[in-house]
Homo-oligomer: A and B are copies of this chain.
Amino acid sequence: MIKAVAFDGDGTLYEGKKSIEEVRKVIEWLGERGISCYVASNTSSVDKIALYDRIGGIIDVENIYTAVDIMIEYIKEKGISVYPIGSNYIKERLANEGIEIVENADAVCVSHTKELNYGSFKKAMEILLNGGDLLAANADRYYVGENGLLPGTGIIVRALSENFLVKARVFGKPSPDMLNRIIEKEGIRKEELLMVGDMEETDIGAAKSAGCKSLLIENNIPQLVRVTADWKVNRESLMDAIKSIVGS
């Protein structure tokens, strides 16, 4: 029996900056039945408040998990310094959290940015060849932007990890980190959590690694890595599928 549902953000709850109507109705329906809804998002461009606004406040802020929050929690827990490759949002966020940002850091910390920079790769190389860690908010291969597919954080993560032969610690899906937090917070068994998303590798992959149930919303996004979901639907049939899975 499903007792909580986690939704992917981009492509599932919203597209570009617009929330998706079908999913909104599903969340209302679940709420009426006392089933908790969560967001488990790989985004490293916005914080949970911005996500809350983007989804029209349909899921409470305290039920929104982002890969960046988990990564920041880890960095603070370890008490390490970082050299960030990412957007200004992340750099400010890390600084505001009191995390030490230096060039000669304990770890390279990667998140999404469109500002690729050879000098950053050189500094990251020096840290990694010196035995530093490689942390990544996510390793998304691509994402759907307002004008189609765009390269994701994965290009930076894999440039570093594969070129310098260092394993990256990835906090976003398909890592089970966010789903494990939800299971723990709800105090439910793992198979009582349903993950709903549109990317097989990350959304369904995270569900598999956490041991949850999974539902794939099929669309036209290329799936480079195939992972089979427990259920598959198109967006129009989402409500019917949820009713049959959760039980009306």
Contact = CB atoms under 8 A, between A and B. Distances in A.
B118 A118 contact: no
Q: How large is the interface on A (under 10, 10 to 19, 20 to 34, 35 or more residues)?
A: 20 to 34
A129 to B, nearest CB: 6
Give how many copies assemble into the complex: 2
Contacts of A118: 114-116, 151
A156 interface: yes
B163 A150 contact: no
B150 A154 contact: no
Contact of A121 (B122, B151, B163, B164): B151
Nearest to A115: B118
A158 interface: yes
A66 to B, nearest CB: 21
A149 interface: yes
Contact of A162 (B126, B152, B158): B158
Contact of A158 (B116, B163, B222): B163
Interface in A221-236: 222, 224-225
Interface of A: 114-118, 121-122, 125-126, 129, 141-142, 149-152, 154-156, 158-160, 162-165, 222, 224-225
8 contacts: A114-B118, A116-B116, A126-B149, A141-B164, A155-B160, A155-B163, A156-B159, A158-B158
